[in-house]
Structure 1
């Protein structure tokens, strides 16, 4: 019995096997670009790993870009703050010099002019840019953050306490609600005397007691703290019960809201009983220019690694409030929002007092303000330096991670060149042999298989 095989079947079977040999050779040829993975079907397990590594590589690249941008931003900020602290150090020295009562009018005028130039330079440094962004403007980084008024305004005069005074009048934070008191408002009574108002509890103290009288208490007991019942001479009830705040009278920059009403002793809320008599008060002010901050207090975050977000650790900018602190006109208990320019305006007060040749004020409040302004910027610069160091460390870590990820991608997707060369030679040989064999065994016609 004979089996008949049609020529079509023979040809179809041969073509199918030849195509498979050609496909194997083509797939091997694809690997000539260095990758053995071009589609999931090439190796589903390896392809899954490859995709996962690619995601990690993209994340790593993004984090490296974030870190590089952040470091550049912080270097720009740090450079500006270094210049600021240098200027503030010089400003401190000029304040000490101006406090010398041997200076004549022309000497004070010259010092005041130099101080104004230094403050203007601080404002200019506050407007430092990185690319098209203002580095000290918070998230409002496309708006110039600092501007100085051309006209002078009436600004409230604060009594700035030195460290010894602050320790005494702040008292024990465990029992005294006026803890961390750094400033009081200066008032003039219709009795002709000067008083200092603790805006947190409404207590009034004489100028003599705040300036020197408290020292007698400390001489007797070095741990002594203020006792309002005996140390104060009266109390302004509207501030004591919290119905009145600094914000009722002053803007956050310290500018008095209505200077005309302050000229007369007509505000019934600003009265107290002193030595059995009702005394009316008005706020002491100083005529000076004002710096206004147009940024916000929001952080600019540049994420440096995956996982949970860390808003504080990922913040790369410095805001006006961090740079120039707060004072009695814009602190948390004032009722105003932070101005972002407190120390600049305090320094402008110092400059105004230099122009006025007020040596007594400069020798106490002036020097304390200059020290505080410098210390505030130095403290902020230190914090930024720590964050910059952290980002620098993360940059090194991300570089190491990138090497590992690249190695993983290479291991799972790269072609073994030596092995590929052998496989290609085998595939090409098999393909050529198939072509040669096919030419010999394929029937010339159907008659050859008829018997």
Structure 2
């Protein structure tokens, strides 16, 4: 049988009091911080779970940021295509108006001017940016789809020549070499006009020195102001290109068809751009170029003009109706992806709520339960102090008192 001494009683009492203080301190920390544990060592299993929950929440937050960016891309694309659709609608009205036989050449010329301005507006839309990114340039988001170049304004130069000017006769002769010599003599900046051409490899076909063959359709022939029926054909190779044409980086064949994708969920990539944007705007511009050329032709009949409206053309994307249908297809595709973004947003919101709830259950303090434990522990502590005061042997000081 072990003899229990006064020293053992005192030591045990002090140890138990320290343990009681430790428990009350723990409950106090839980109430103050709102967390079940302050260090991973307090509850390693809960700490590991908490880290996993935080990783999931970080992913959800990043996916939500990606979805916000995707929504911005798709909203901007949809509004841009809507502007293109309205522009084509207006062009269709103008073509219907121009196709009437009652129109004079002057009236058709005025219609052509408006159509040319709408064509430039569509090029503006093609260069739409979201932040610092061009949304219709495929994966070349830092390069504009249409770039500015300068071409010789042959018509302006021809109009500036007097009737007796020998250069005018050289133009009228149609001699390609001599016309080129005349163009080479132009030094006045006013005889250059700035245009925008598609910044893709196709722009270089047939015109290697400049890299932009699209300028050929801009000035194909000139007309004599004194005789509108008189046309002077200018060979495409006679057109000089100046400005940034040689230094502008091209949008590659792969890049213009590339997809800009954002991860919106684990392993799920959402395409946010219209990957056939360069092709779409190139087709629109080709159709509008043909429309403009027909309106500039004094010999064009109402049937020639009406043909550009289309509806059942044999040449794909050769008429206004064809490109309008293509724009509608593009908008339908964008709309479907916008619906997908909305569904993914709802899914992430639900996952965020569920993960946050599990994280809270794993880490956060249950105040009602903790307060109950705290009050119970305080009662036990007070009882321990009371009993301990009776167990501790009185000292000589107590007797002297």
The structure 1 residue matched to 2:206, chosen from 246, 249, 254, is: 249
C-alpha change, 1:61 and 1:256, in structure 2 (3 Å) is: closer
- Measured after TM superposition, the shift of residue 256 of structure 1 is 8.1
Residue pair 2:67, 2:345 contacting (<8 A) in 1 also: yes
Cα distance in 1, alignment partners of residues 108 and 138 from structure 2: 37
2:17 counterpart of 1:18: yes
Aligned partner of 1:381 in structure 2 is 331
Give the secondary-structure state (helix, strand or coil) at the position aligned to 1:362. helix
Give the secondary-structure state (helix, strand or coil) at the position aligned to 1:92. helix
The structure 1 residue matched to 2:279, chosen from 325, 328, 331, is: 325
Aligned partner of 1:222 in structure 2 is none
Aligned partner of 2:163 in structure 1 is none
Aligned partner of 2:369 in structure 1 is 419
C-alpha change, 1:124 and 1:404, in structure 2 (3 Å) is: same
- Measured after TM superposition, the shift of residue 85 of structure 1 is 0.6
Q: How many residues align?
A: 316
Cα distance in 1, alignment partners of residues 86 and 149 from structure 2: 24
2:127 counterpart of 1:127: yes
Aligned partner of 1:351 in structure 2 is 292
The structure 2 residue matched to 1:299, chosen from 243, 256, 259, is: 259
Residue pair 2:203, 2:213 contacting (<8 A) in 1 also: no
Aligned partner of 1:407 in structure 2 is 357
- Measured after TM superposition, the shift of residue 429 of structure 1 is 2.6
RMSD value, Cα: 4.1
Cα distance in 1, alignment partners of residues 334 and 240 from structure 2: 30
C-alpha change, 1:430 and 1:294, in structure 2 (3 Å) is: farther
Cα distance in 1, alignment partners of residues 123 and 238 from structure 2: 19
C-alpha change, 1:152 and 1:316, in structure 2 (3 Å) is: farther
Unpaired stretches in structure 2, ≥5 consecutive residues: 155-201, 217-233, 311-317
Give the secondary-structure state (helix, strand or coil) at the position aligned to 1:67. helix
Aligned partner of 1:364 in structure 2 is 307
- TM value normalised by structure 2: 0.65
Cα distance in 1, alignment partners of residues 237 and 109 from structure 2: 17
Aligned partner of 1:158 in structure 2 is none
Cα distance in 1, alignment partners of residues 325 and 359 from structure 2: 51
C-alpha change, 1:371 and 1:286, in structure 2 (3 Å) is: farther
The structure 2 residue matched to 1:396, chosen from 336, 346, 355, is: 346
Aligned partner of 2:378 in structure 1 is 428
Aligned partner of 1:118 in structure 2 is 118
- 1:413-443 deviations in whole A, cap 9, x for unaligned? 3322221111001222333444455555456
Cα distance in 2, alignment partners of residues 29 and 49 from structure 1: 24
| Pairs within 5 Å for 1:50-449 | 50-151=50-151, 249=206, 255=214, 296-297=255-256, 298-306=258-266, 308-310=267-269, 314-319=270-275, 322-323=276-277, 325=279, 341-357=282-298, 359-360=300-301, 361-364=304-307, 367=310, 368-438=318-388, 441-442=391-392
Give the secondary-structure state (helix, strand or coil) at the position aligned to 2:368. helix
- 1:233-292 deviations in whole A, cap 9, x for unaligned? xxxxxxxxxxxx9986367965489xxxxxxxxxxxxxxxxxxxxxxxxx9979999999
- Measured after TM superposition, the shift of residue 142 of structure 1 is 3.5
Residue pair 1:325, 1:341 contacting (<8 A) in 2 also: yes
- Measured after TM superposition, the shift of residue 386 of structure 1 is 0.7
Give the secondary-structure state (helix, strand or coil) at the position aligned to 2:35. coil
Structure (1 or 2) with the greater helix fraction: 2
Residue pair 1:134, 1:143 contacting (<8 A) in 2 also: yes
- Measured after TM superposition, the shift of residue 121 of structure 1 is 1.2
- 1:72-100 deviations in whole A, cap 9, x for unaligned? 22112111111111101211232333344
Aligned partner of 2:314 in structure 1 is none
C-alpha change, 1:355 and 1:248, in structure 2 (3 Å) is: closer
Residue pair 1:286, 1:349 contacting (<8 A) in 2 also: no
Cα distance in 2, alignment partners of residues 289 and 94 from structure 1: 32
Unpaired stretches in structure 1, ≥5 consecutive residues: 155-244, 258-282, 327-339
- 1:164-205 deviations in whole A, cap 9, x for unaligned? xxxxxxxxxxxxxxxxxxxxxxxxxxxxxxxxxxxxxxxxxx
- TM value normalised by structure 1: 0.59
Cα distance in 2, alignment partners of residues 288 and 341 from structure 1: 21
C-alpha change, 1:354 and 1:12, in structure 2 (3 Å) is: farther
